[in-house]
Amino acid sequence: MNQFLRYFFVIFCLCSSFKALAESISSASSAIHQSPSQLFPDSTLSSSDLFRGSKDSRNKCENDTILSGTYAIYWGCFDPPTLAHRDIIVQTIQKKGVDAVIVVINSFKNKTYQADISNRIKMLEMLLQDNREKVIYFIQDEDHKADYKQMKSQIKGKLYAIVGQDSYEKWAQHESDFSEYDEIIIILRFVPSSINPFTKPLAANISLMKIDQYLYDCSSAKVRTDLLTEERSSAFLSLNTLDYIKEHHLYAANHQKH
């Protein structure tokens, strides 16, 4: 009888161990298959937070979290986000091997935006849904600037800057603004591929990127003008972005802000 009890006890212990091991493996597998946005806890966001977006939530990268790897910063109003914005972000992800693109959405009090920050973030999330695991958002305002110092305080690794040709030419005299970045990706206007459009030799940390030719004339301002027409359509918007704009009555003539 005692021997039977010993056997029963050993079998019970083994079953308990196997059950605990199976639960541990299942939990680990679930964590591995979660998107990065799900791995960050839900939290109320402030402008200084880096956060990942998902379709139904805002998920913050905690302020004491240090992101390791290579990240590219892309600044803009995204009012609204266009196919050109997506092309630039996707090209950076695919060609530059970054861990993520940090999309900085401007929200300055002294600036006028046709859509508020929540709508612009939502449209960006919809536009970039196929690459959502490679996108991090940052809301920039007067008190929280997405400059090199701020970004570097949360990133351990390489930091790239994505800037338009026009912006780079305007800021070229302030070389210190960009010299600290590991790479500056300049988005070109239409030029023959063999021609360097800049008057000065480019620094070693500068690379040039071209967008698809049909997007050369694309801009948020042009899209807003297109949306004022009777058709309320634009070739430079994704279908889901256009549907969202119409559903929420954005950029309509009677909703324009001044």
Tens of pLDDT, residues 93-115: 999 999 999 999 999 999 999 99
The pLDDT value recorded for residue 189 is: 74
In this structure, how many other beta carbons lie within 10 angstroms of the beta carbon of residue 49? Answer: 19
**pLDDT of res. 59:** 46
Return the higher-pLDDT residue of 39 and 117.
117
Residue 164 lies in a domain: yes
Is residue 28 a part of any domain in this protein?
Answer: no
**What is the reported pTM?**
0.74
In this predicted model, what pLDDT tens digit does every residue of 115-163 receive, in sequence order?
999 999 999 999 999 999 999 999 998 888 888 888 888 889 999 999 9
pLDDT band at 192 (very low <50, low <70, confident <90, very high): low
Mean pLDDT of all residues in 63-69 = 74
Residue 155 lies in a domain: yes
Residue at 85 is within a domain: yes
Task: Compare 101 and 57 and report the one with higher pLDDT.
Answer: 101
CA nearest to 87, candidates 162, 193, 3: 162
List, for residues 13-23, the tens digit of each pLDDT value: 555 554 544 44
Question: How many structural domains does the chain have?
Answer: 1
CATH number at residue 42: 3.40.50.620
In a domain, 29, yes or no: no
User: What is the token pair recorded at 175?
Assistant: 């070389």
Residue 244 lies in a domain: no
DSSP per-residue letters across the chain: -HHHHHHHHHHHHHHHHHHHHHHHHHHHHHHHHS-HHHHSPB----TT-EEEEETTEEEEE-TTPPEEEEEEEEEE--SS--HHHHHHHHHHHHHH--SEEEEEEE--TTS--SS-HHHHHHHHHHHTGGGGGGEEEEEEBTTB---HHHHHTTEEEEEEEEEEHHHHHHHTT-THHHHTSSEEEEEE-S--TT----SSPPPTTEEEEE--GGGTT--HHHHHHHTTSTT---TTS-HHHHHHHHHTTTT-GGG---
Which range among 10-14, 113-117, 179-183, 215-219 has the greatest average pLDDT?
113-117
- Give the domain range for residue 158: 36-217
Residue 60, domain member (yes or no): yes
Asked whether residue 240 is domain-assigned, the answer is no
Mean pLDDT, to the nearest integer, of 65-70? Answer: 85
Instruction: Tell me the range of 53-67, 162-176, 234-248 where mean pLDDT is highest.
Output: 234-248
